[in-house]
Structure 1
Amino acid sequence: MSLRNTARRGAAAMVLAVLAPLALTACSGNDEGPSFVSATPSAAAAPQASAEPLTLAVTPAEAAKNQPVSTEIGTKVTGGTVQTVTVTDSSGGKVTGAMRADGSSWVPNKPLKYGKAYKATVVVADAGGQTIEKSTSFTTMGRPGKKTGAGLYMFEDREYGVAMPVVIEFTSPVPVSARAGVERRLFVTTDPPQPGVWSWSSSLQVMYRGPEFWQTGTKITVRAALEGVPMGNGRYGDQDRKGIGNISKDKIEMKVDNATKQMQVFKNDNLVKTLPVSLGKKTTPSSSGTLVVMDKLRKTVFDTTDDPGNVDRYRVDIEYAQRLTWGGEYIHAAPWSVQHQGKRNVSHGCVNVSTANAQYLFNLTRIGDPITIKGTERTVKPANGWTAWSVTWDQFLKGSALPIPPELAALGSAPAPSASATPQPSVSPS
């Protein structure tokens, strides 16, 4: 069975991470997920010898007004490198921050204050010791009247499965014209380092993943530095968000084949269990693709009796439910369909298993574990859940609003995980 039009976003409201701003510390990573190096003299990169003359241009322009509180200090340098960036408010208080890894700008650790004056001073040097210092003063805008909120699905006190994407959802649509600016303010670092890209599945959702599932034991740190960021249609980001995700030390993966009506369960790439299933009947088929466990409910009620357009309405108590889509597809116990499991599809779109098998899966899995379903009458729609893995890497890259570095584009020859018949041992250290 599936739950339709009932608490579709209820789980979302429960797991939205509404957190305090992340203090941005010196770190390194990939260009598509902007990262930072220190701008202090002791940690500044040594100037390289260059035939170019030393030049420096700084933004915002002198005396600029009504700047967003997300303003960065732009630095365009030839013939040298940035040595220091100092930003102070009108009272002389220092603003902390760090340079982007590509040296294009200096990013404050926290949003600036509304309606305040600031002064930024940048010092650059060449290999011969010549320096240039430039300053600029600017004033931030007043508080905006229209804001867009953002929810980050990630909590530090939880372990997640290897397919857990970084998911941000917005309270108002973000138009295409604003997405690059928003994306540049979404910062991700992973330990151990792994490549990744942001991709827009809709105007309300953007997700981050790499070309492969996360390595087991990975720590993911996220700062969505969105307060004051122009979000389009006269709206601005309401506040910064932060989150930390800890990926499980075990890789759990489920694979369902509609042709056989069987689920294979893998732990660390080893087959540990095969169990019969019943999927959605032809009028209410299950969605094919690589889906991700989004929520887990020991007991719940599926209720579609308030849907006047549904002639097949029902209300039923459910055990061991694991949500896979916003549309209401779950893995769950279905003792009423045991006689059909492994033989024919009778559900409203869910993955039906016996109570014993549902309990086994419920105790084994975590939010973020992948399940690949193949051979059904329909494919999962973008944004109907955390669908980042239901497309190939090449397709996922097309959803980015920023240029893709060549080294990341080159990784696109691998198929989506859903296209692989059997998980293969990872060649990456775990």
Structure 2
Amino acid sequence: MGTSGVRSTGLDTARPAARAGRRPWRVAAAAVAAGVVLLSAGCSGDKSPSWQNGSQGSGGNAQSPSPTPTQSTVAVTTPAPDAKDVVAITDIKYDSEDPENTSVEVKDADGDAVKGELDKDAKVFRPAKALNYGTTYTVTVTGTATEGKSGTSTASFTTMAKPSKQVRVSSFLGDGQVVGVGMPLIVRFGRSVPEKYRGDVEKRMTVNATPQQEGTWHWISPTEIHYRPKTYWKPYSKVSYQVKLAGVPMGNDWYGRSDLGVDLKIGRSFVMTVENKTKRMTVRQDGKVINTIPVSLGKPSTPSSSGTMVVMEKKEHTVFDTIAELGPEEGYRTKIDFAQRITWSGQFIHAAKWSEGVQGRTNVSHGCINVSEKMGKWLFDRTMMGDPVTVSGTGSKLKNGNGWTDWNMSWDQYKQGSALS
């Protein structure tokens, strides 16, 4: 018999197989399989055979496999989809099975892309500035697709309405300004910042220096924060600081009003050191001694403060009037030349003609550093705001906060003033 016997019936092939000593059920199974192939090949019309749709025949109980649900390898996690009243400085967080090959795009209602920084390690997109108030944004996260999973996820959210209570943020330093190596960066707030919000505020304040220098912020008070490097600024550095507080929560429904940025320069190193023992001021410029000046410090009843201060203000000609503060017997009203303020309590470096005869020998001032008229002008012509002066040996310690006393603390003490320490 030829192969035509297989096509006609499986029984004809079973008999000779049995006579050959083979197991009949194996041959019968082969015949059934062959029949299936022939049946499948012979049904190419529009109708499916009954065994495929489960309506008839021996395959009537079979079910076609359900399609695998399409999932995503990426997902937007924060803000939640369709979230409302989202704070304007929100970070956009996402999940991804392949962060390195994942991108994030944020667009406003007009389709304009939001600029920002993508941190793939933290899986966070941080907008470069606060988002617009009362605006709907769409986030699209695109990653790699895997079998049965999509590589794209999209979600939308809407920011909060513009708050009625906003905190003013300011800094009196300006772009292009040149300051001394002891100049702290100073930012002031129009309202006290509660302690629990200071860390978030501080995170939005960045400082960049060229060359790079280690530094930190330090809260002077609830309304003022300073920044200084570990040691004096390196001479001729370029320093910029960005304060991005628009929309940042500051407690009790108050939010930052705006951002600000300042680019300034550090000048030459000009450092003044005063010793009560010798009653001399040593002046160093870029590390080299350029002058030694006789001084008269505060008399015993009104001693000068020992500590490190910086020049905060300069007035070539002014009037010291302490009558209202000290009374007519102790107070005085005197014209002063070449005054340089170093404390809020009224201590200055200034020229004093009346004490020139004892400068270098006796302390007679009300707490100021007296120098001659000639040396007062010499100093005034060379100093700038932020130049440091250190006084030692007077027996009266400088109180922190009485001036820009950032350098009157050790580095470890200063770091403790950071909300992020």
After superposition, residues 102-113 of structure 1 pair within 5 angstroms as 103=122, 105-113=124-132
What is the SS of the residue equivalent to 1:378? coil
Counterpart contact for 1:82–1:122, Cα < 8 Å:
no
- 2:399 corresponding residue in structure 1: 381
| Range 335-344 or range 387-396, more displaced | 335-344
Question: Which range moves more in the overlay, 304-313 or 234-243?
Answer: 304-313
Residue of structure 1 equivalent to 2:202: 183
C-alpha RMSD over aligned residues: 2.8
Alignment of 1:204 with 2:204, yes or no, is: no
User: Shift in Å at residue 103 of structure 1?
Assistant: 4.8
CA-CA distance at 1:301 after TM superposition: 2.4
CA contact (8 A) 2:76 2:141 kept: no
When structure 1 is superposed on structure 2, of 355-364 and 112-121 the one drifting more is 112-121
How far apart in 1 are the matches of 2:364 and 2:197?
44
Q: Give the letter for the 2:127 counterpart.
A: P
* Residues 238-253 of structure 1 mapped to structure 2, 5 A cutoff: 238-248=257-267, 250-253=268-271
Displacement of 1:283 in angstroms is 3.4
For the Cα contact (< 8 Å) 1:301–1:315, is it kept in 2? yes
Counterpart of 1:401 in structure 2: which amino acid? A
Quote the Cα distance in structure 1 between the aligned partners of 2:349 and 2:123: 47
One-letter code of the match for 2:168?
G
Is the 1:225–1:241 Cα contact (8 Å) retained in structure 2?
yes
**Are residues 1:397 and 2:405 paired?**
no
- Secondary structure at the aligned position of 1:181 is classed as helix
Contact 2:312 2:404 survives alignment (8 Å) = yes
**Compared CA separation, residues 61 and 246, structure 1 to 2 (3 A):** same
Q: Give the stretch that moved more between structures: 380-389 or 158-167.
A: 380-389
Pair 1:295-2:313 in alignment = yes
1:278-326 residue CA offsets vs partner (Å, 9 max, x unmatched)? 2233333322222121222222222334437786322222221222223
Residues 139/227 of structure 1: CA separation in 2 closer, same or farther (3 Å cut): same
CA distance 1:256–1:108, change in 2 (3 Å): same
**DSSP-derived class of the 1:232 partner:** coil
1:45-64 matches, cutoff 5 A: 58-64=77-83
The corresponding residue for 1:371 is 389
Distance 2:405 2:368 in 1: 16
Q: Which moved more, 1:109-118 or 1:68-77?
A: 68-77
The 1:313–1:142 alpha-carbon spacing in structure 2 relative to 1, beyond 3 Å, is farther
Q: Taking structure 1 as reference, are residues 132 and 281 closer, same or farther at Cα in structure 2, changes over 3 Å only?
A: farther
SS in 1 for 2:402: coil
Q: Give the conservation status (yes or no) of the 8 Å contact 1:219–1:245.
A: yes
CA 1:134/1:217 → structure 2, altered by over 3 Å: closer, same or farther?
Answer: farther
Shift of the alpha carbon at 1:100? Answer: 6.2
> Structure 1 303/59 Cα, relative in aligned 2: closer, same or farther at 3 Å?
farther
Q: Tell whether 2:116 aligns with 1:97.
A: yes
Within-5 A mapping of 1:61-72: 61-72=80-91
Shift in Å, 1:361: 1.0
Segments of structure 2 that go 5 or more residues without pairing to the other structure are 1-72
Contact kept in structure 2, 1:111 and 1:227, CA below 8 Å: yes
**Structure 1 position 275 matched with structure 2 position 274:** no
Partner Cα distance (1:88, 1:371) in 2:
52
2:289 aligned with 1:264, yes or no?
A: no
- From 141, 154, 164, give the equivalent of 1:145: 164
Find 1:159's aligned residue among 178, 185, 188: 178
Does the 8 Å CA contact 2:298/2:364 hold for their aligned counterparts?
Answer: yes
Q: 1:390 to 1:134 in 2, by over 3 A?
A: farther
SS in 2 for 1:260: coil
Distance 1:347 1:278 in 2: 7
Give TM-score, length-normalised by structure 2. 0.74
TM-score (norm 1): 0.73
Amino acid at match of 2:109: S
Superposed displacement of residue 55, structure 1: 6.8
Task: Compute the displacement of 1:131 (Å).
Answer: 9.1
Quick one: which of 375, 380, 401 aligns to 1:357?
A: 375
Separation in 2, partners of 1:321, 1:106: 51
Which residue is equivalent to 2:347? 329
**For the Cα contact (< 8 Å) 2:241–2:261, is it kept in 1?**
yes
Higher Cα Rg: structure 1 or 2?
Answer: 2
User: Greater relative contact order: 1 or 2 (C-alpha under 8 angstroms, separation 6 or more)?
Assistant: 1
Residue 335 of structure 1: how far off its partner (Å): 1.6
- The answer to whether the aligner puts 1:230 opposite 2:246 as a matched pair is no
Instruction: Decide whether the 8 Å contact of 2:246 with 2:257 is kept in 1.
Output: yes
1:204 Cα offset (Å): 2.0
Instruction: Percent identity, please.
Output: 41
How far 1:242 moved relative to its partner?
A: 0.9
Judged with a 3 Å threshold, the aligned counterparts in structure 2 of structure 1 residues 316 and 238 are, in CA distance, closer, same or farther, namely: farther
* Distance of 2:90 and 2:252 partners within structure 1: 19
3-state SS of 1:246 partner: strand
1:300–1:321 Cα contact (<8 Å) kept: yes
SS at match of 2:196: helix
- Compared CA separation, residues 265 and 297, structure 1 to 2 (3 A): same
Relative distance call for 1:340 and 1:222 in structure 2 (3 A) is same
Q: How many residues align?
A: 346
Identify which of 130, 137, 161 aligns with 1:118: 137
1:183 aligned counterpart, secondary structure: helix
Partner of 2:377, secondary structure, is helix
SS of match in other structure, 2:250: strand
Task: Return the offset for 1:400.
Answer: 1.1
Match of 2:304 among 286, 300, 304: 286
